[in-house]
Amino acid sequence: MYNLRLLRNILPIAGHAHPRWLASQHKRRPQPGSLPPDRLEQLRSDLFERREELSGAEWTEVRQSLVDGYKHINGHNVDAVILGVCSAPNQLALAKNYVEFLRSRGSKPNAATLGRLLRVYNAAYHERPLSEAEQSEILQICRSLQAEHETLDASSCENVIHGLVATSGDDWQRGVPLLEMMKVTSTPSVAAYSALTEKAFHVASPEQELAWLLLEEMATARKPPKCEVYLALLNRLANETAQLPAQLSRLLQFLERHEILVSQRVAIRLQELSSQVPQLLHTRTTHLGALGKCQSCQQHLQPVAISDEEFRQLSECFLERVLIRRDVFQRSTPEEVARFKKFVEKTAPYDCVIDGLNVAYSTGTKKTPQQMAKLVATVVRHFREQDKRVLVLGREHMRNWSKQAMHYVHSNASLFLTSNLSHDDPFLLYATLRSGQETDFFSRDLMRSHAFHLGTELKPIFRRWQQEHQFSLVTQTQTGQIIVKEPVRHRLCAHQVAGTWHVPYCAQYTPHPTDSFEVPANWLCIQLKEQTTPATKTKTKTTR
C-alpha cells in the first residue's frame, strides 16, 4: 500500500496555514485545469505518475485530504479535480480506476468528472490508437451525458467533442451540433473548434470541406487554430500527394487572409513534407534582410501599400459609417463632431495627424504636464523639420499644460481639442483618411475595434493601410531626443511574390497573438510546383 504518511505531507491539512493563492482562488469556481501547480503537481508526480491503480483506502484518503486541505475543493468538484490531476496520456488506467472506485461505493460521477475522463481518453488517443473497448466506453459516457441533459453547458459540450473525436467511426460528427449548442451561450472555444477541425482533416475526403468551413469560422471569431489542426492536414497530404498543390495553396491563402502565424512545429512538418515530395514542394527556412529581402530566393517581399481603388473603398466605408450609421463617434456630442468636420474642411489636408494625448502618455503616465507638453512639441518638431503639415488632436485639459510648449504646438500645427470624454481615434482616422492616401498618423493605438467594425472584406485592407501609415513613439532618451518607430513597408503575413510563398512562423502557438506590426524573425520560402505526372496515391507512413 502507498505510504499514507507521505500523502499527508503532500497535501495541506485543514486548519493549517494555506498558501497565499487560496485567498483569491477560493471564491471562484475552480476548473481542474487551472489548479495551483504546487501541491497538486506534487500529488501528480509523487503518486499518480507512479501508479496504475490505487486501493479504495488510498483514493478515500486522497479525496478527503483534498476536500479538507483546500477551501475551493468540495464534495461536488473534488472528483473532477482528481481526474484533472491524472490527465496525462499514460494515466488513463488510473483515471478509470478512480471512476470505478466512485461507482464501487455507490456514488455516481457527475458531468464534470465524466467530462474530465473523456479528456484523458482524448490525451491517450493522441499517443496511441484506442482499443475497441476503450472507444465503446467513450461512446457510452457521451451517450449518458447527452441522455441526462437536453442542453449541455459549454464545457460539457467541449468534453463530449473531445471524447467523440477519439473514436474511429462516424460518431465524431455528432460533435458538430454540439458546437452549435455552444454558440447559444458564447463563441465555442479554440479547443472545441480545433478538436473537430483536426478530426475532419484527418478522416476521409468528403469531410475536408467541413474542416475548411470550421477553420474559416474560428479564424473569423479570432480563435487561432491549434497546431494539431494544420498537422492533421499536412499528415493527410503526405499520404494523398495528388491533392497537395491545391490544398496547400488553400492553406497558405487562409493564413494570408487571416494574418495567422503558424508555429515552428508546423513549419518543421512543412519542411519534412517538402523533402518527402521534392517534385511538388520546395521549402527553405529564411530570414529577411534590409527592406524585406528574402535571404533564400533574394526577392523582396510585397510592399504593404494598398491600391488607389482599395483606399477609395476604405475611406468611403469609414466616412459612410461616420455620416450615415453614426456609430464611429460614439463618445462625442453631435455638436463636437460637426465642429470637428468644419475644422478639417478648413485646415486639411495634412501630411501627418498626431494623437497628442497618446503621445503624451506613451512614455508613462506619471509625467508632469510640462514634460508631456514638451514631448508633444518634440514630436511636432520631428515632422515640421521634414516640412510636413501637421494636425494635433488633444483634449480640453491640455490647455492647462506648459504655455511655452503648447505655444510651439499651436504655431507649428493645426490643433483641435475635444471634450475630455471623447475617444481620440475616430477623430484621428477621420482626419487622416479625409486627407488622402499619402497621409500618415502618429499613435500607439492598435485600432482593433475599428478594424473589426469594417467587416471581413475591408479589415485586411484597413490593416495594410494602418501598417503603411502608422508612426509611433518608441522612447525618449535622457537628452530629450525621441526615437520614432517608422512603418514597415513590406507585408508581414504569408503572401506570394512571383510564384513563391513567404510564410512567417513563430516559436510557439499562442491563443492571443498580438495585432502589432512587428517583423517576424523566422520565415519559410516555399515554392509550390504544379503536379506534372498523373496523380498517384502514395502510401507513405506518417507519424501523428
The DSSP element (H or E) to which 98 belongs, if any, is helix 92-104
CB of 293 to Zn ion, least distance (A): 9
Of 376, 525, 526, 528, the residue at the interface with Zn ion (CB under 5 A) is: 525
CB distance 160 to 175 below 8 Å: yes
Mark the segment that binds Zn ion (CB under 5 A) among 43-51, 295-303, 444-452, 508-516.
295-303
522 part of the interface to Zn ion, by CB under 5 A:
no
Kindly report the CA angle at 435 between 434 and 441, in degrees rounded to 5?
Answer: 100
The residues in 186-225 that bind Zn ion, with binding defined as CB under 5 A, are none
Candidate segments 57-65, 288-296, 391-399, 407-415, binder of Zn ion by CB under 5 A: 288-296
For residue 523, the minimal CB distance to Zn ion (Å) is: 8
Q: Which stretch binds Zn ion (CB under 5 A): 78-86, 265-273, 293-301, 341-349?
A: 293-301
- At 524, is the secondary structure helix, strand, or coil? strand
CA distance 429 to 13: 59
Q: Which three cell numbers stand for residue 94?
A: 488510473
Decide the pairing of beta strands 522-528 and 262-263: unpaired
Q: Which residues pair with 288 in a beta bridge?
A: 294
CB of 492 to Zn ion, least distance (A): 15
Name the residue nearer to Zn ion (CB basis): 282 or 395. Answer: 282
Q: Which three cell numbers stand for residue 107?
A: 456514488
Q: Lay out the site mask for Zn ion across 411-440 (x = CB under 5 A, - = otherwise).
A: ------------------------------
CA distance 78 to 85: 11
The answer to whether the beta carbons of residues 396 and 418 sit under 8 Å apart is yes
> What is the rounded CA–CA span in Å between residue 274 and residue 278?
5
- Of 112 and 261, nearer to Zn ion (C-beta) is 261
Q: Cβ 331 to Zn ion, closest distance in Å?
A: 46
Tally Cβ neighbours within 10 Å of residue 45.
11
DSSP line for 76-96: TTHHHHHHHHS-SGGGHHHHH
Q: How far is the CB of 103 from Zn ion (least distance, A)?
A: 60
Does the footprint of Zn ion cover residue 294 (CB under 5 A)? yes
Q: Are 12 and 39 in contact (CB under 8 A)?
A: yes
Question: Is the CB of 380 or the CB of 525 nearer to Zn ion?
Answer: 525
297 binds Zn ion (CB under 5 A): yes
Which of residues 210 and 297 has its CB atom nearest to Zn ion in the complex?
Answer: 297
Options 98-106, 247-255, 325-333, 521-529: segment touching Zn ion (CB under 5 A):
521-529
- Asked if residues 356 and 413 have their Cβ atoms less than 8 Å apart, the reply is no
> Is residue 479 within 8 Å of residue 285, measured between CB atoms?
no
519, 488 contact by CB (below 8 A): yes
Stretch of 195-203, 233-241, 487-495, 522-530 lying at the interface with Zn ion (CB under 5 A): 522-530
Q: Identify which range of 22-30, 95-103, 171-179, 520-528 contacts Zn ion by CB under 5 A.
A: 520-528
Is 524 an interacting residue with respect to Zn ion (CB under 5 A)?
no
Q: Shortest gap between Cβ of 513 and Zn ion (angstroms)?
A: 23
Regarding 296 and contact with Zn ion (CB under 5 A), the answer is: yes
Binding site for Zn ion (CB under 5 A): 294, 296-297, 525
